[in-house]
Structure 1
Amino acid sequence: MKKKMSDVAYIETPLGITAITGDQEGISKISIKEESKRTVSNTIPYHLQEAVVQFKEYFEGKRTDFDVKLNPSGTDFQKRVWKELLHIPYGHTTTYLDIAKRLGDPKCIRAAASANGKNPLWIMIPCHRVIGSDGSLTGYAGGLWRKKWLLDHENPVKQQTLF
């Protein structure tokens, strides 16, 4: 049986060139590209158009959640963790321990953290919203500076006026 090919679109984001991969079954991978020579896509494949629109809206501050079909590859446990990540509201954080508890086993904290780190859908499955129990920004495949940027983007400090 021949494996079907996925489409890829490269878009510019404030955090670098992002590759969005998927097909009619849904978005399967979103990743940041470190190479600076990658150019953005001139045309966006049909199956990726809505994901690209929603991603741009997110970075423009016009979108707080995504409603495109997701189709990540992973183990059953990883998919359970990723599903749990989808319940973390925009502008909020949780801890690896809280995720493990929600999965029903506080002892699976390391496995939950590992699954979090293997999340193939950068931002759409919000693994950046998971922090250490002490409030530290721990582990992020895209780099801690990107995690900090995303958390600041989702929860900007509002300057109060004095007058």
Structure 2
Amino acid sequence: MQGQAWAARLETEMSKSVTISVVAPEQRDRDFYADLGPFFMDGAVRRELPYLKDLPTKTWLLAKDAAGQVVGFAGIIPHRNGVTELCSLYVAPAHRSKGLAEELVARRLSMVDGARVIRVVCPPTSAGLYADKGMRQVAKRGSYVVLERKAEKKAA
């Protein structure tokens, strides 16, 4: 997962191009924090993602519009116990209901490598994004649900 450098094009319903890029922990730089930093300070974003944080092992996916503005993001955190956590999924309101969240979920799932379990903690309203990917609710954490599935083994 780390060091992967790829980007993909996603055409939204409005025919605006969105680029999704992967930023591994060692690739974070001044530009990355300039792009993502404002979301950490935005009250509306913090209400949706109260646990938004940047951890040293977290890989980020950034979705940018044609003008280079971040319109969504998501994170992946591999834990030493073999669990990989999908976290920090956010899509700006103007870009919702266009398939971007689904694309971010699919991209993160395709990047999971070496995990035994994939886990996500999300609001119940987002659980459907993961349920159709084979994840099942295993617990509740406050007003959030915890979904998990066993990681798929990659063919040798």
TM-score of the aligned structures, taking structure 1 as reference length: 0.29
Question: Would you tell me which structure has more helix in proportion to its own residues?
Answer: 1
- With a CA cutoff of 8 Å and minimum separation of 6, indicate the structure with the bigger relative contact order: 1
Question: Would you tell me which structure has more strand in proportion to its own residues?
Answer: 2
Return the index of the structure with the highest Cα Rg: 1
TM-score of the aligned structures, taking structure 2 as reference length: 0.30
